[in-house]
Amino acid sequence: MGRDVTEALADCARPLPGMNVLDVASGTGEPAITIASRIGPDGHATASDLSADLLEIAAQRARQRGFKHLSIQQADAQSLPFPDDSFDLATSRFGAMFFPDTQRAFRELLRVLKPGARACFAVWGPKEQPYFSSSIGVVHRHVGGLLITPDAPDPFRFAEAGSLSGALNTAGFANVHEEMRVVPWTWPGTAEEVWEQQQATAAPFRSLLSRVRPDQWPTLNAEIHDSIRKYQDGENIKFTATIVLASGTKP
């Protein structure tokens, strides 16, 4: 579903052939793999993440594409294992809002970037959008209480306009730019699959889902499936995603 977000971030980042690029919180490999396709074999892309298991999937995907110029590195964004002034560009898709100490992570990126190099980020915009409203939003209307508990990772941490750019300015980035953009968010399958996938990856909403009584699930599932089907177009579920794109330069 994140393909169009990846493309939007890569367009924002403007990677050039021959660049040395760091992708932080890569998960299963994006946008590192897309970046690698744009910088070509004379460049190098490093996919980094806390999860070694996810990075192994990224490595497999890179091998399937014959990308020898992409490597993986298990790493904490708040303590990057790279020398100062190493990279021409840094990216992160849906990672920045989950850094426990955002300022520390941003300062680490400044450290490893070369002077004049850019860092580009994509994060979720407001929670009031189709993908969430038709699923998690339905659960929240029935169950009530907190949508996200204070101790849980918050995907909407930088949803408020100016909050991500403000954090980048505070960390020391220059030439900071932020924009909100609406892109396609498409699932190539059924409404039931969308909801199953979201429950499997819904760490921020675990507390909410745990408050659903067993006898509520049949009604909830039926209502959620019906809500998601409103976005069905042929064999695809076509949502849109409102995202925030932000970038800054190392002085």
With bands split at pLDDT 50, 70 and 90, how would you rate the model's confidence at 201? confident
Q: How far apart are the first and last CA of the chain?
A: 35
Cα separation, 64 vs 13, in Å, equals 24
Q: What is the pLDDT of residues 89-135, one digit of tens each?
A: 999 999 999 999 999 999 999 999 999 999 999 999 999 999 999 99
Cα separation, 203 vs 124, in Å, equals 15
Q: What is the pLDDT of residues 54-93, one digit of tens each?
A: 999 999 999 999 999 999 999 999 999 999 999 999 999 9
DSSP three-state, residue 142: helix
Residue 202 has pLDDT above 90, yes or no: no
pTM: 0.94
Q: Which domain holds residue 19?
A: 3-249
What pLDDT sits at residue 168? 98
- In this structure, what CATH number is given to the domain that contains residue 178? 3.40.50.150
CA distances from 63 to 21, 33, 107 (A): 18, 10, 32
Please choose, from the candidates 100, 21, 24, 109, the residue with its C-alpha nearest in 3D space to the C-alpha of residue 67: 21
Helix (H) or strand (E) holding 119: strand 113-124
* Overall number of domains in the chain: 1
Residue 93's region, left for phi above 0, alpha for psi from -120 to 50, else beta, is: beta
